[in-house]
């Protein structure tokens, strides 16, 4: 496994609603260690054996004889062969899979007055996901990772696994490294791939791998055929044949290297299940998708221009013109430009002018709108809807305002609009209108004791501020 660490920094998120990039107040870092991508063929050992003259008491059958019987009756001199120091195990193959593993840790950056540090979200728990573990989460389930990958491409499967057998050399006990033949020394590249039709499990057919005395005994004119007859297609012969082709720069038919490049760890074993895989290098493009879910309480998104409150709307009218002062609080964590406009005015009055201003985070600004009454002879109150938008959001907040010809009115916080010479006691707006104006939560509970006096003082302060603003 390549244990080189990579870090993926996540500073922005994509908002599917606004189709914009949103900045994170607390960036996320993902430490990633990626294992190799391998083409892994599951394989299963197919049993086979020989009877040894040094141990004639066994229950194995070969060549239609039993090691428990008196071997002299069956020409034991030919049946009891000396074991070779070099064996091959025969294995069946299955459809390959992609073997791939990812190791991940998750961190958030936390700021302090003088510095910052990275906080481990999973308390040093390393997530291990891949082809054998598609899903993992921490005990608190604040981080969940899911692994999804495509299957191996058909053109990458060059082994006819249904009709081939994998022959793996196996050393007998006591064999030293100096005794290794070339077919062992070159490793997994020289494993043999052989058609299952060229392998005889009970050794009863000539010229097939695994041939036994039985096949030799029952062949026609066995005593007249040349030595070595009936012994073709043995693993050593096939290895020598392909080795000659390899040295001549030609492609062979039996060595594993001609079907793919084995990984340095060619045999993979699941220690829990005992499952074995033949691992080849996968040289094709491979798509892996990892879905990561993180508890939203650990994420702070800087939504530019998404949140603002219409704290107050003050209107004043003179002959032919009305002014609307819109008090806006940017409740977001990023400076944003907001634009206000009064629309849908009653009494046939046209929409107001627009005003735009850049407001720092957690700060207030006043926007000034003008409504032209012209020569309209209006005595009734004019109702307009003040809409607030930003560069990223079409509508951030809205609130109904009252324009009184030749008068002043105020719509403040959670109170309905009221005008001079009217009752200044606070009458609550509906919860729906409260939220439309950009406020959150429930409506405040009013303390009726002298509340109208407090409201009157606020009205006077706002009007004074407006006068200074105009001057």
409: DSSP letter: E
CB-CB contact of 426 with 452 (8 Å): yes
Q: Per-residue pLDDT for 168 more than 60?
A: yes
Rounded Cα distance between 442 and 430, Å, is 10
Rounded Cα distance between 161 and 450, Å, is 89
CB-CB contact of 40 with 98 (8 Å): yes
Residue 182: enclosing H or E segment and its boundaries? helix 182-185
Q: What is the pLDDT of residues 99-132, one digit of tens each?
A: 999 999 999 888 777 788 888 888 889 999 999 8
53: Cα within 13 Å, side-chain hemisphere? 11
| pLDDT in the model for residue 284 | 94
* Ramachandran assignment for 130, one of left (phi > 0), alpha (psi -120 to 50 degrees), beta (any other): left
Q: Per-residue pLDDT for 468 more than 60?
A: no
Rounded Cα distance between 40 and 97, Å, is 5
- Please identify, in words, the CATH class of the domain defined by 307-470: mainly beta
% of the chain residues with pLDDT over 70: 85
CB-CB contact of 147 with 178 (8 Å): no
224: DSSP letter: T
Q: Per-residue pLDDT for 58 more than 80?
A: no
What φ, ψ does residue 428 adopt, rounded to 5°? -65, 140
Domain limits, CATH 2.60.40.10, in the chain: 307-470
| pLDDT in the model for residue 470 | 45
The label of the residue with tokens 């629309």 reads 343
Q: Per-residue pLDDT for 81 more than 70?
A: no
| pLDDT in the model for residue 225 | 78
What predicted TM-score, i.e. pTM, was given to this entire model? 0.65
Q: DSSP alpha helices (H): ranges in 74-204?
A: 76-79, 182-185
CB-CB contact of 214 with 165 (8 Å): no
- How crowded is residue 257: how many other Cβ atoms within 10 Å of its Cβ? 19
Q: What is the pLDDT of residues 385-400, one digit of tens each?
A: 999 999 878 899 999 9
CB-CB contact of 410 with 313 (8 Å): yes
Task: Tokens for 128, please give them.
Answer: 């291990």
Range name among 14-18, 46-50, 322-326 with the lowest pLDDT average: 46-50
Query: 205-210: long-range contacts at Cβ-Cβ below 8 A with a sequence spacing of 24 or more?
Result: 206/230, 206/231, 206/232, 207/231, 207/232, 207/233, 208/233, 209/88, 209/90, 209/167, 209/233, 209/234, 209/235, 210/48, 210/90
- How crowded is residue 360: how many other Cβ atoms within 10 Å of its Cβ? 12
Q: What is the secondary structure of 300-334 as a DSSP string?
A: -EE-TT--EEEEEEEEEEETTEEEEEEEEEE-SSS
CA 41 centroid distance within chain: 25
To 10 degrees, the CA torsion angle through 346, 352, 357, 360?
-10
Rounded Cα distance between 136 and 128, Å, is 7
Three-class DSSP category at 330: strand
Rounded Cα distance between 428 and 415, Å, is 5
- How crowded is residue 11: how many other Cβ atoms within 10 Å of its Cβ? 12
422: DSSP letter: S
* 224 contact partners, CB below 8 Å, separation of at least 6: none
What share of residues in the chain are helix, strand, coil (percent, to 5)?
A: 15, 40, 45
71: DSSP letter: G
Rounded Cα distance between 387 and 440, Å, is 17
CA dihedral sign, ordered 412, 418, 420, 424: negative
Task: Tokens for 458, please give them.
Answer: 């606020």
61 vs 359: which has the higher pLDDT: 359
CB-CB contact of 184 with 169 (8 Å): yes
* CA angle at 12 for the pair 8 and 14, rounded to the nearest 5°: 115
Range name among 253-267, 293-307, 430-444 with the lowest pLDDT average: 293-307
Task: Tokens for 143, please give them.
Answer: 């981080």
| pLDDT in the model for residue 251 | 94
Instruction: Provide the pLDDT confidence category of residue 77 given band limits of 50, 70 and 90.
Output: very low
Rounded Cα distance between 471 and 50, Å, is 111
* 409 contact partners, CB below 8 Å, separation of at least 6: 314, 315, 381, 401, 402, 403, 417, 418, 419, 420
Rounded Cα distance between 463 and 415, Å, is 17
Rounded Cα distance between 262 and 13, Å, is 41
| pLDDT in the model for residue 153 | 94
């Amino acid at each position: 496994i390549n244990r080189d660490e990579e870090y993926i920094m996540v500073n922005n998120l994509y908002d599917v609603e606004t189709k914009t990039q949103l900045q994170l107040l607390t960036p996320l870092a993902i430490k990633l260690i990626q294992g190799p991508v391998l083409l892994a063929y599951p394989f299963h050992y197919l049993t086979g054996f020989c009877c040894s003259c040094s141990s004639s008491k066994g229950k194995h059958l070969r060549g239609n004889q039993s090691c428990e019987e008196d071997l002299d009756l069956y020409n034991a001199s030919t049946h009891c062969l000396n074991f070779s120091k070099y064996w091959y195990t025969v294995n069946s193959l299955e459809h390959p899979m992609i073997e791939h593993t990812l190791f991940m840790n998750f961190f958030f950056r936390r700021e302090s007055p003088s510095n910052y540090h990275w906080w481990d979200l999973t308390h040093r728990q390393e997530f291990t996901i891949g082809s054998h573990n598609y899903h993992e989460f921490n005990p608190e389930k604040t981080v969940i990772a899911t692994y999804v990958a495509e299957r191996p491409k058909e053109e990458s499967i060059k082994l006819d696994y249904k009709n081939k057998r994998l022959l793996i050399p196996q050393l007998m006990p006591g064999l030293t490294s100096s005794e290794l033949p070339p077919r062992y020394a070159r490793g997994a590249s020289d494993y043999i791939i052989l058609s299952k039709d060229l392998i005889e499990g009970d050794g009863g057919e000539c010229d097939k791998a695994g041939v036994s005395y039985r096949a030799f005994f029952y062949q026609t004119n066995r005593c007249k055929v040349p030595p070595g007859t009936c012994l073709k297609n043995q693993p050593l012969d096939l290895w020598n044949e392909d080795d000659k082709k390899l040295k001549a720069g030609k492609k062979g038919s039996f060595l594993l290297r001609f079907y793919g490049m084995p990984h340095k760890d060619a045999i993979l074993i699941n220690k829990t299940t005992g499952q074995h895989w033949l691992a080849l290098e996968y040289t094709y493009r491979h798509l892996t998708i990892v879905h990561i879910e993180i508890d939203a309480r650990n994420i702070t998104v800087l939504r530019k221009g998404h949140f603002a409150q219409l704290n107050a709307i003050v209107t004043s009218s003179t002959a032919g013109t009305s002014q609307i002062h819109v008090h806006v609080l940017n409740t977001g964590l990023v400076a944003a430009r907001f634009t206000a406009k009064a629309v849908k005015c009653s009494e046939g009055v046209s929409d107001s002018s627009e005003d735009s201003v850049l407001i720092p985070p957690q700060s207030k600004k006043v926007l000034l709108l003008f409504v032209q009454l012209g020569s309209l002879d209006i005595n009734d109150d004019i109702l307009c809807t003040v809409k607030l938008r930003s560069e990223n959001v079409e509508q951030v907040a809205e609130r109904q305002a009252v324009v009184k010809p030749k008068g002043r009115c105020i719509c403040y916080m959670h109170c309905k609009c009221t005008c001079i010479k009217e009752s200044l006691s606070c009458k609550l707006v509906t919860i729906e209108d409260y939220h439309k104006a950009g406020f959150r939560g429930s409506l405040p509970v009013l303390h009726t004791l002298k509340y109208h006096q407090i409201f009157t003082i606020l009205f006077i302060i706002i009007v004074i501020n407006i006068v200074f603003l105009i001057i």
